[in-house]
Structure 1
Amino acid sequence: MGRTTGAAGTSEPKKKTRRTHRWRRVLLATLITGAVVVPLSGAARPEIPAPAPAALTPVTAATLDEAYAANRANAAEASRMAAAHGNRERAAADREMADPSRHFLSFDGRGPGLATEVFGDLPHADRIAVLVPGSDTSIDTYDRFRAAARALHDRLTREAPHGARTAVVAWLGYETPATVSTTVATAGRAEEAAPKLREFVRQLRALADRSGRQSRISLLCHSYGSVVCGRAASHLDVDDIALVGSPGTGADSAAGLHTPARVWAARGGDDWVAEVPHIRLDLLGTTVGFGTDPMSPSFGARVFAAGDGGHSDYFRPGSTSLTNLTRIVLGETSEVSHG
């Protein structure tokens, strides 16, 4: 699109103002109508049949290929079952995951679906990034999450110091909340996910130790995924935790996460999450909201630049945010540009 000049240029601030008001209305609608939306949306979604996950022994460098093959076979069977059930979209998504080029540490095609995909040579990686997704991420929408992981791995491969190996893990290890639901404004899903994330990172560390490597592990947490990381942080053996597009973590400060990891935060200039009220209220026995804005000075995170992107642009190729996330994963922290 061309540049807007002259009198037309004055419309841009008005557009931003309209976006701001729109997202405020969306948030209020979410909180007010969520009690109706959640049961209706749950009832409208038919269960998609799929096999139970493949039974696997703890993964080692020697058994990694076996795990990849077993999960691809499971995805292929899930595709056949979904097709027989008449769900062509899920059948196609599962079939793509069964492609011989894909590397899954885990796969579960039941319900919304869970999957953990690896990009790179995981057991020999010196720098490992684990991506934790936000709301509305499932097998049905997995391609956008995968695209983020691939973009990061491509950039890491180009930028890594000579001889250093990198890997990226796309960890869809929990059932994410729907964006328009009450679950997205509460920590319930994050509390369920936190022990799973802790166990996964423990297994990563064990894999690295058995390979004789002192790998750096960075956790990159997007949107509601930052709530998950906040809940898990105190028991995670990671070097860096980066919160992008975060509505909050549930903690009042980075120190409140009780982690020795460096805590980073960034938000794009056009990210609607900036308009989410940073509150924490007890309503009818449920805590709504996630407290202090990780971008605020009082939180105490290392704020880095994310450019002018929107909520889904943090891993966009060529973006400021992807450049800085790459530097964080590589341990080049002095090169990170500050926001």
Structure 2
Amino acid sequence: MASRLPGNRPPGNPPPSNRPSSNRPRRTLLAALVAASVAVPVSSAARPAAVPAPVPAAAALAPLRDATHDTLAERYAVNRDGIRAAERMAAGHGDRKRAAALRGMADPARQFLTFDGRNGGRSAEVFGDLSRAERIAVLVPGSDTGLDRYERFRAGAAALRRELGGDRAAVVAWLGYRTPPAVSLTALTPGRAQDAAPELRRFVRELHAAVPAARVSLLCHSYGSVVCAAAAPGLDVADIVLHGSPGTGADSAGRLDTRATVWAGRGADDWIADVPHVRLRLPFATVGFGTDPVSGEFGARPFDAGGGGHSDYLKPGSVSLRNIARIVNGRALKAPRA
């Protein structure tokens, strides 16, 4: 797409920061947290993965080969049964929080293409009618997203589906990997992203097989942008939308080896801007993700993400939500009047 969204500047000229000088203490504090995360493990990080869950039924694990109404209804029902079984097991384990979260996910109105409650949980929830979809947005979350903290992720997916409008768009909230704890060495290294990339590639291939005519866009938030970058080479998607990104591990959009249009936006009040955009090769790990995706050096197509914070990109009524929806819809827009 050659057009720009409202408020965009040409690539190479990212919008100037309007962040006040009072952010300096926050930058210093965040740098201290980054250093602490390298030295000190987060003791509670493994807790969500410790909740037991049953092995999913074979039908829930089978590749998605078509997306007819009847096929999808059967798939959703199988996964609903799996969620209810996981709820019972979590309740028996004494984890009321997990059981309550699963009880909500088992609502008959909800649509899960995949669900596996083991090892912290994996799922893919559909918003809209996938059988009729011409445009599909796949949301890839960042750190601290899991079954116990799923509602914010779900709320963003639902808001995007409403913003897309019509009956030919669908959104998939893809929680297909074990996300890292926010304050941890794991969140500063590419290991979880590299493990997740094959799963994301497989999921996108299945979507294309099931809905071959649909235009697919990846929406990659925070650490999810590292996942998308790892999966990008050869991936058949129209757009890769990086928002709230700490970096991708690549020096430039061109190094992602993708034919997709790579977009990047960051809210004016997003603390991720304070994270140093470096990549350090240490004896035990590579820390950091390199070039800032909203910089001209990276070369992504910028979009106006408004004035929101790190968790506000899909907030109803926001500039970022409106522009992300326009990217997914493939709409050519003119820049607004000055």
Q: Which residue of 1 aligns with 2:210?
A: 207
Aligned amino acid, residue 116 of structure 2: D
Q: Does 1:80 align with 2:80?
A: no
Task: Find the aligned partners of 1:27 and 1:106 in 2 and give their Cα distance.
Answer: 38
Contact 2:112 2:126 in 1 (8 A): yes
Distance change >3 Å, CA 328–CA 37, structure 1 → 2: same
Letter matched to residue 67 of structure 2: A
SS at 1:198's partner residue?
helix
Matched-pair contact (CA < 8 Å) for 1:198–1:235:
no
1:251 and 2:255 are equivalent in the alignment:
no
Alignment of 1:193-232 (within 5 A): 193-209=196-212, 214-232=213-231
SS in 1 for 2:292: coil
Whole-angstrom CA distance in 1 between matches of 2:120 and 2:263: 30
Aligned partners of 1:324 and 1:336 also within 8 Å: no
2:100 aligned residue (89, 92, 111) = 92
Distance 1:46 1:233 in 2: 28
- Which residue of the partner structure matches residue 142 of structure 2? 134
User: 1:155: how far off?
Assistant: 0.7
After TM superposition, the structure 1 = structure 2 runs for residues 285-300 of structure 1, keeping only pairs within 5 Å, are 285-300=284-299
The CA distance in 2 between the partners of 1:226 and 1:246, in whole Å, is 6
How many angstroms does 1:45 deviate by? 5.8
Shift of 1:119: 0.6
Give the letter for the 1:31 counterpart.
Answer: A
For normalisation by structure 2, the TM-score amounts to 0.88
Q: Is the 8 A contact 1:105 1:117 kept in 2?
A: yes
The answer to whether residue 149 in structure 2 is matched with residue 119 in structure 1 is no
Q: Tell me the C-alpha RMSD between the 2 structures.
A: 1.9
Q: 1:251 touches 1:292 (CA, 8 Å); kept in 2?
A: yes
Would you say the 8 A contact 2:304–2:320 is kept in 1?
yes
Letter in 2 for 1:193: A
Instruction: Write the deviation string for residues 237-274 of structure 1: whole angstroms up to 9, x where unpaired.
Output: 00011000000011111101010000100000000000
> Distance between the aligned counterparts of 2:105 and 2:31, measured in 1?
34
Give the 3 Å change call, closer, same or farther, for CA 182–305 of structure 1 in structure 2.
same
Aligned position for 1:7:
none
Amino acid at match of 1:147: A
Maintained 8 Å contact 1:136/1:176:
yes
Which structure has more relative contact order (CA 8 Å, sep 6+)? It is 2
Task: Tell me the amino acid that sits aligned with residue 292 of structure 1.
Answer: T
Is 1:274 equivalent to 2:273 in the alignment? yes
Report the counterpart of residue 193 of structure 2 in structure 1. Answer: 190
Contact 2:30 2:274 in 1 (8 A): no
Whether contact under 8 Å (1:24, 1:276) holds in the other structure is no
Secondary structure, counterpart of 1:307 in structure 2: coil
Deviation at 1:290, TM superposition (A): 0.5
Pairing 1:1-339 to 2, within 5 Å after superposition: 16-38=20-42, 40-42=43-45, 47-56=50-59, 57-59=62-64, 60-62=66-68, 63-157=71-165, 160=166, 165-209=168-212, 214-335=213-334
In structure 2, how many angstroms separate the alpha carbons of the residues matched to 1:227 and 1:110?
A: 23
Q: Give the direction of change, closer, same or farther, for the CA distance of 1:240–1:103 in structure 2 (3 Å limit).
A: same
Q: Which stretches in structure 1 are left out of the alignment for 5+ residues?
A: 1-14
Aligned residue for 1:31, secondary structure, equals helix
1:305/1:337 contact within 8 Å kept: no
TM-score (norm 1): 0.88
Deviation at 1:123, TM superposition (A): 2.5
Structure 2 distance, partners of 1:186, 1:68, is 35
Determine the C-alpha separation between the residues in 2 that align with 1:44 and 1:64. Answer: 33
Could you tell me which residue of structure 2 aligns to residue 12 of structure 1?
A: none
Counting matched residue pairs gives 314
Query: What is the percentage of aligned positions where both structures have the same residue?
Result: 58
Gaps of 5+ in 2: 1-18
- Shift of residue 24 of structure 1? 3.5
Which structure's residues are more often helix, by fraction? 1
Task: Return the offset for 1:37.
Answer: 2.1
1:98, 1:224 → 2: CA distance?
28
Distance 1:287 1:243, change over 3 A: same
Letter of the 1:100 counterpart: P
Shift, 1:208, TM fit? 1.3
Report the CA distance shift for 1:91/1:23 in structure 2 as closer, same or farther (over 3 A): farther
**C-alpha distance in 2 between matches for 1:43 and 1:243:** 28
